Amino acid sequence: MDPVRSRDRDYNGNKNMKEDNKTQKNIETSENTRSRPTSNGMEAKIYNQKGIEKGKIILSEKVFGAKWRADLVHQVVEGMRSNKRAGTADTKGRGEVSGGGKKPWKQKGTGRARHGSTRSPIWVGGGVTHGPLAEKNYKRKISKTMRAQALFSVLSKKLKDEEILFVDSLSLPGIKTKDAVEVMKNLAKASGFKMIAESKKPKALVALYERNEKAEKSFRNLSQLEMVFLKNLNPVDVLNHRYLLIENPEESVKFLESRG
State the DSSP string of the chain.
--HHHHHHHHHHHHHHHHHHHHHHHHHHHHHHHHHSPPP--EEEEEE-TTS-EEEEEEEPHHHHSPPP-HHHHHHHHHHHHHHT---------TTTSS---S-SS-SSSSSSPP-S-TTSTTSTT---TT---TT--------HHHHHHHHHHHHHHHHHTT-EEEES----SSS-HHHHHHHHHHHTTSTT-THHHH-SS--EEEEESS--HHHHHHHTT-TTEEEEEGGG--HHHHHTSSEEEEESHHHHHHHHHHH-
What is the average pLDDT across 65-89?
94
| pTM of the predicted protein model | 0.74
Task: Give the model's confidence band at 28: pLDDT under 50 very low, under 70 low, under 90 confident, else very high.
Answer: very low
Predicted confidence at residue 21, as pLDDT, reads 52
Digit-coded pLDDT (tens) for 86-130:
889 999 999 999 999 999 999 999 999 999 999 999 999 999 999
Residue type, 60: S
Predicted confidence at residue 40, as pLDDT, reads 42
Q: At residue 12, does pLDDT exceed 70?
A: no
Predicted confidence at residue 17, as pLDDT, reads 45
CA distances from 60 to 66, 156, 206 (A): 10, 10, 20
Sequence ranges of the chain with CATH classification 3.40.1370.10: 42-85+140-259
Q: At residue 163, does pLDDT exceed 50?
A: yes
Predicted confidence at residue 30, as pLDDT, reads 38
Integer-rounded Cα Rg, in Å, for the chain is: 31
Predicted confidence at residue 26, as pLDDT, reads 43
Predicted confidence at residue 104, as pLDDT, reads 95
| Whole-number percent of the chain with pLDDT over 70 | 84
Q: At residue 39, does pLDDT exceed 60?
A: no
Lowest mean pLDDT among 3-7, 169-173, 236-240: 3-7
What is the number of alpha carbons within 13 Å of residue 228 lying toward its C-beta? 21
Task: Give the model's confidence band at 141: pLDDT under 50 very low, under 70 low, under 90 confident, else very high.
Answer: very high
Q: Which CATH superfamily is domain 42-85+140-259 in?
A: Ribosomal protein L4/L1 (3.40.1370.10)
CA distances from 254 to 4, 57, 130, 172 (A): 65, 12, 50, 24
Digit-coded pLDDT (tens) for 197-224:
888 888 999 999 999 999 999 999 999 9
Predicted confidence at residue 41, as pLDDT, reads 53
State residue 158 phi and psi, 5-degree precision: -65, -45
Rounded (5°) CA angle 153-154-156: 65
What is the average pLDDT across 154-180?
94
Digit-coded pLDDT (tens) for 185-201:
999 988 888 888 888 88
